Structure 1
Amino acid sequence: MALTYDDIAEQQADIVGPLLPYFRAPLPDGQFIRGVLPSPPPSEAVRVVVGPPRGGTPDGMTVWEIPLRTAGDAGDLAGADDVLGMVRALHTGTQIFSSSRTDTVMGMRLVRVDPAAVEPADPDEGDLALVVLRTLLHPWTEERPVPRLRGFLLRDPDRMRLYCDREGDTAVVAADVRLSGALTAVLAALPSLTEEEGTAPGDADPHCSRLVDLTGW
């Protein structure tokens, strides 16, 4: 069955939640997941941002663009465990990439990963235990909060960018929030995100169509 971009958007949203615990768990080389970004359409991929646990500058981070399916594959899309296994493998040992697969985005190094060239790392006992506990505490439901979270990016110690969309509309709207800000005010503002005018990010952030600043809330 042919997949639509709605299917890709759904899978991007599904991947965000399971990767959140690894925001604080180091990768094999000591780097950390700093963000999960929805690759701009029509790309069938997800972008995982890695860098130091705190601070850091964009040029010290790497964005791994990981396809959610291989070329010509009409089967199941890659899930969060597949993506995590790929990222762990990429941070084990020395990796060399041709210049044709590298670029920059938002000041960060972007690498378009070829899944055929990377052997994903197997899940460890902590991963397996987390799946069991997460399933018991947060069983799968078809209902999602509105707006739907498609990704996030920690931009500095007190600033995070959230990437959201609404049911029936896969256009991504980003919102900058302060981590030390009033959480209840931000949660109240998020449902009306797509109704705000915001600003067009242009080439500054290709992962969203509009950007809303909620750091003053």
Structure 2
Amino acid sequence: MSGEEHEIEDLQREVASLLLDHVYAPLLEDQHVRGVLPAPAGAPAVRVALGDRNECEPSRLTAYEIPLGAGDELRTSHDVVGLLRAVHTGTHIYPSNRVTSVLGMDLYLVDPAHVEEAPFTTDDWAATFLRCLAHPAQERGAAGLRGFLFKEGGVLRLYLDSDDVPGVIAADVRPGGALTALLAALPSLLGDEWRISDAVEDPHCRYLVDLTDW
């Protein structure tokens, strides 16, 4: 198997993992994810079925095939979410050769060149960030998630513990695109004295670390 085929497989796994949240929480309006399918014959694409919550009748579901390639690069799982939201909103005209069916569902073959990708929302970034903290690739010793709270102004408060810092520490962050860098730096930032303030209004932590400008 080539390196590119491995990359496609990994990306299909990432998309399936990311879209799990939207089985229960709508992807947009009242539409939930009812299926994520790797395109057959090893095609570099993923298929996603959308419909009402708990809907299982194929004729009441709509499936979209999203190509994972973007020129010489691969799209990200976030790109797939943005394209899904865009194609399922408003009116889109598909030529007959881009409309088919699979497993009893209408299947639309999406051409990203004709779709303006919907932006990834603050809640999307927050959910991705929280998932990485809750299921870290590293062993205990890195920052571990004990809780969280959405606050005004796009701030996400994290309640964290670490082998390096005793007790529960709160950290205010603004979820955004540089998640990997923040995740890597987070354990060392919990002890930065100049960022620490007493969290007198919050009984759930020893102190608060302000990382909103990090």
Using CA pairs under 8 Å that are at least 6 residues apart, name the structure with larger relative contact order, 1 or 2: 1
Q: State which of 123, 131, 134 in structure 2 corresponds to 1:134.
A: 131
Write the distance in 1 (CA, Å) between the matches of 2:42 and 2:68. Answer: 12
Aligned to 1:28: 28
1:171 corresponds to: none
With normalisation by structure 1, the TM-score equals 0.59
Matched, 1:118 2:115: yes
Corresponding residue number in structure 1 for 2:49? 49
Partner amino acid, structure 2, of 1:82: D
- Alignment partner, residue 38 of structure 2: 38
Q: Deviations over 1:67-97 (max 9, x none)?
A: 0013xx222x212211111111112212221
**Once superposed, which parts of structure 1, at least 4 consecutive aligned residues long, lie more than 6 Å away?**
none
Check whether the contact 1:25–1:32 (CA below 8 A) recurs between aligned residues. yes
The match for 1:109 is 106
Question: What's the CA shift for 1:140?
Answer: 4.0
Matches of 1:104 and 1:25, distance apart in 2: 26
Q: Is 1:27–1:91's contact at 8 Å kept on the other side of the alignment? A: no
Q: How far did 1:110 drift?
A: 0.7
Letter in 1 for 2:106: R
Deviations 1:181-209 (A, max 9, x none): xxxxxxxxxxxxxxxxxxxxxxxxxxxxx
- Is 1:74 equivalent to 2:72 in the alignment? yes
1:91 aligns with 2:88: yes
Q: Is the 8 A contact 1:86 1:121 kept in 2?
A: yes
Structure 1 unpaired stretches of 5+: 142-217
Instruction: Compute the TM-score of the two structures, normalised by the length of structure 2.
Output: 0.59
Greater C-alpha Rg: 2
In the alignment, structure 2 segments of 5+ residues that lack a partner are 139-214
How many residue pairs get matched? 137
